[in-house]
Structures are given as structure tokens and as C-alpha cells.
Amino acid sequence: MKSRSQLIIAYIIPFLLLLVSVFQLFLQPTFLDANDTSTMEALLDGTGREPASGFYFQGGAISQMLLTQKIIAEINDPSLPADSQPEDTKDRLGRVLLGQKIQIFFYIFLAILSVTSFVSLYYKAFFYAFLNRVLYFFGIIYALTALPTLVGATVRTPNAVAWILPIVIFFLGWIIGMIYLMVSIGSIFKNDPAERFESLQNLREDEAEFRTGKKADSETFWASVWHFFGIVALGTLIGDLIYIPLFVLQKSYSEQFGILLILAVILLSAFYIRNYLKFGKSSELGKYQNLALAFGYLQARFIRIILYINIILVIVFVFVVVLIVWLNSNFGVLKSLLPSIDSGQNL
């Protein structure tokens, strides 16, 4: 009974987060404090009167991005005098536009993740636990970002406590529930294990068995040298023929480069999905069900790669920071032991 209720909740959560993602793209709730003079939101009413404090609905992330693009286009109008085009304002609006594009990408990614998480859970794919844990993590992040606004609204508008406080309690319960599901989602199918597309996992493990960290016995020192120079030559050739032209293209033709990059990602994704269907499709499912699971597995691999890159970057950053702190501390010890270093005298 307990597992049954957990499964029903696990089925419902992706739809809730999908609804939140679509809602944020097209319509966003915002709290407006008319007494807060540090923002200009109270002046955007357009009616000449000061709006009352409370929650309002404004355009979503897409409409906000379009509005920012319109403002930037008006500022960059060549018919305007040069002194009426402040560079600081244009740079600030450019950063705002970049943040809005990242926000739109995040909500689209969360919407797709919600669909693939439900599909992998419903069809019992072996990677369902990973996708759903990532989805629950983003659900926790969204609740944590919404809580400060709700708490601030409760403090600033005491008359609205009666309906804001239950929402705050709901978000706190949501966070606790997400944490619980992140821990228990892996054992939700105890009697009927999730094994669809498991051949892809077995294939990856089989490939790992053939990898070896030892050099071949026939490989000599000079062969290693030739391999090294071959890699350097190939890297130089690829850099001159591919990387440098791409860099010039994205610098001079950013829109065309963006379209080219999107097309390349789509083609590469189609190639991987085709291979996933070739090696991992289930005979128990139809064509479109297998296609949905292949797309979900592609997203799972993409998330894993991003996680690995972030972990490596964090490790490198921590290593560099520790190394710099250690060198500074050693230099301080040397200065205390050898005052001539600090005075600039020769030892």
C-alpha cells in the first residue's frame, strides 16, 4: 500500500513541475510592494496611480525577453544621438537578456525533464531513478527560490497571512516530500524490477571491460613519441580548419552560428537516439514508446556529462585555491624565518 501511494505521487509530480515550467514561460506571479522605493516596479502600472501591495501576474519569461530585446533595439537605433546611447545601460541590458535566455532554457529543460521522467517511470526503464532524482532536485530548488518571496509577502502584508501562510506550509511540505522521494525512488519497484533499455547499461559495462590502462607490450618508446606528435599535428589541423573558423563565425555572425549550433545538436541527438533504439529498444513497447525512452536516456546521459564536468571543474578550482593558499603560507613562513627576503637583501 505504501509503495502504491508513493508510485501515484511519483506519477503526479512530473505533471506538476511540467505545469510550473509552462506557467513560468508564459505567465509569472510576482509580489509588488508599493512601499518599496528601491525598485521601479511600482512605476510600471502605467495608470498614474500607485498600485496596492500584493501578488500580480506579469508576462512570463518569453514576453520579458521579447520586451528586453525591443528596448535594446530602440536604444541601438542609429537615428538616436550618440550621447543618448549609454554603454553602461546597453551592457546591463545585455546581461539581463542573457539571464532571461538562460531562464527560458532552464524552464524548457525542466519541462522536457518532467516528460522524460514520467515516461521512464511509467515504462520502467532502468534509468528512471536517476532522471526522477534530478527532477526532484530541481523541484526543491524551485521551492527554495519561491519561499523568500512568500515569507517576505507575509511580513509586508499582514492582511494576506490567512492565504499566504498555507502556501508557505505547502512549499515546506513539498521540500520534505521531494527529499524523501529522492531517497526512496530507487526501491519503488521491488517486486517488478525496472529493466527496460537495460541492454544499453550492459553494453556500456561490456565496453568498460575491454578498456585497459596498460600499454600494449608491442608499443615502444618511439611509437609513443610518434603517437604524441600525431595527436599534436591532428589537434593543430582540427584547430586551424574547424575551431578557429567557428570562433570567427560566432564572433562575427552570432545569430547564424547559433542556428548552426542548434542544427548540429539536433543532428547529433538524432544520431544517438537512433543508436539507442538499435541496441536498447524493447520488443514489449511500440515505436513511439521506445522513441520516448531513447530520448529520455539521451537526456540522462547529457545530465551525467554535465555533472561530471562540474565535478571536475570544482575539483580543479579547489586544488588551485588550496595550492595558492599553501604557497602563500609557505612564503609567509619563509619571510619570518629569513627577514632578508622581505628587505630585498641578497642571501
Distance spanning both ends of the chain, measured CA to CA: 80
Distance from C-alpha of 163 to C-alpha of 310, rounded to nearest angstrom: 40
pLDDT of res. 82: 64
pLDDT of res. 339: 62
pLDDT of res. 133: 92
Exposed/middle/buried for residue 129 (C-beta within 10 Å: 0-12, 13-18, 19+): buried
Distance from C-alpha of 132 to C-alpha of 184, rounded to nearest angstrom: 11
Torsion sign across C-alpha atoms 17, 23, 24, 26: positive
Measured CA angle at 126 (ends 120, 132), to 5 deg: 50
Count of alpha carbons within 13 angstroms of residue 109, beta-carbon side: 16
What phi and psi, each to the nearest 5 degrees, are found at residue 130?
-65, -50
pLDDT of res. 136: 92
pLDDT of res. 276: 83
pLDDT of res. 98: 85
Distance from C-alpha of 224 to C-alpha of 230, rounded to nearest angstrom: 10
Torsion sign across C-alpha atoms 181, 187, 191, 197: positive
pLDDT below 70 — which residues of the chain?
1-2, 29-57, 80-86, 153-161, 191-195, 201-221, 331-347
pLDDT of res. 340: 56
pLDDT of res. 206: 47
Distance from C-alpha of 5 to C-alpha of 26, rounded to nearest angstrom: 32
pLDDT (tens digit, 9 = 90+) per residue, 15-63? Answer: 999 998 998 888 776 666 555 554 444 444 444 455 555 566 677 888 8
pLDDT of res. 176: 92
Distance from C-alpha of 278 to C-alpha of 8, rounded to nearest angstrom: 32
Distance from C-alpha of 39 to C-alpha of 49, rounded to nearest angstrom: 16
pLDDT of res. 9: 87
Contact present, 290 and 278 (Cβ < 8 Å): no
